[in-house]
A = this chain, B = another copy of it.
Amino acid sequence: MNMENQRKKTSGRKKIEIKKLDKQTSKQVTFSKRRQGLFKKASELCVLCGAHAAIVVFSPADKLYCFGQPNTDTILDSYISGTTEFGDLKSAGNSQNYEEYNKQYEEALKMLELEKKKLADAENLARFWNTNDWWNDSIDYMSSDQLEQFMVSIYELRRKLIEKADEHVMKLNM
C-alpha cells in the first residue's frame, strides 16, 4: 500500500572488475563470501561427479582455510605421491629440488600417519555426531513414507556399524 515499497531498496549487485580490491574491509567481506562459495562449489562438484578434491586457501591476512573431500590430507597425499614420481621433471620446472620435495613428502606422510593414529578428523566427526541434533530434529518434518525410508537407511547404517564394530572387536548389543 505504502508507496515506499515501490522504491528499489538497493541498487543491487553491480558488475565489478576482477582486480585487486583496495578497501581493506570490502576485501575481507568479499573474501569471506567468495571462499564460502568456492567451498560450496567444490563440495557440489564432488557430490555430483564423485570427484575428490582439496582446496587450501590463505586469506589476505594469511589465515589458513581448507576443504577436502573426503579430507584435505588424503587428497594432498595422493597429489604429492603422484607428482613425486616426476620429481626430476618437476625440479626442473619448479624452484624446488627433488630432495627437498621428497623430504616434505616424507614429512607429509609422517603427518598423515600421525593423523590417522589420532584420527583427528574422526574426532571432529564424533563431536559432530554427538553435539548436533539436526537429524533428530529433521525427522519431525518427514511424512510416514519418508520416515519409513529413512529408517531403512538407518537400519542399513546400523548393520554396517555392527559389521565395523566387529572388526574392532568391540562388544556391542544394539
Give A contacts to B, CB under 8 Å: 16, 18-21, 27-28, 30-31, 34-45, 47-60, 64-67, 70-73, 75-84, 87, 90-91, 94, 96, 98, 101-102, 104-105, 107-116, 118-130, 132, 134-158, 160-161, 164-165, 168, 170, 172, 174
Contact = CB atoms under 8 A, between A and B. Distances in A.
A44 B45 CA distance: 18
Contacts of A96: 73, 77
Contacts of A114: 87, 90-91
Contacts of A66: 79, 104
A157 B129 CA distance: 10
A105 B65 CA distance: 10
Given A122-B143, A125-B146, A150-B126, A108 B134 contact: no
B48 A27 contact: yes
Given A84-B110, A111-B40, A31 B51 contact: yes
Nearest to A108: B80
A174 B54 CA distance: 39
A31 to B, nearest CB: 4
Contact of A48 (B19, B45, B55, B57): B19
Nearest to A153: B129
B111 A43 contact: yes
A131 to B, nearest CB: 9
Nearest to A162: B151
B119 A141 contact: yes
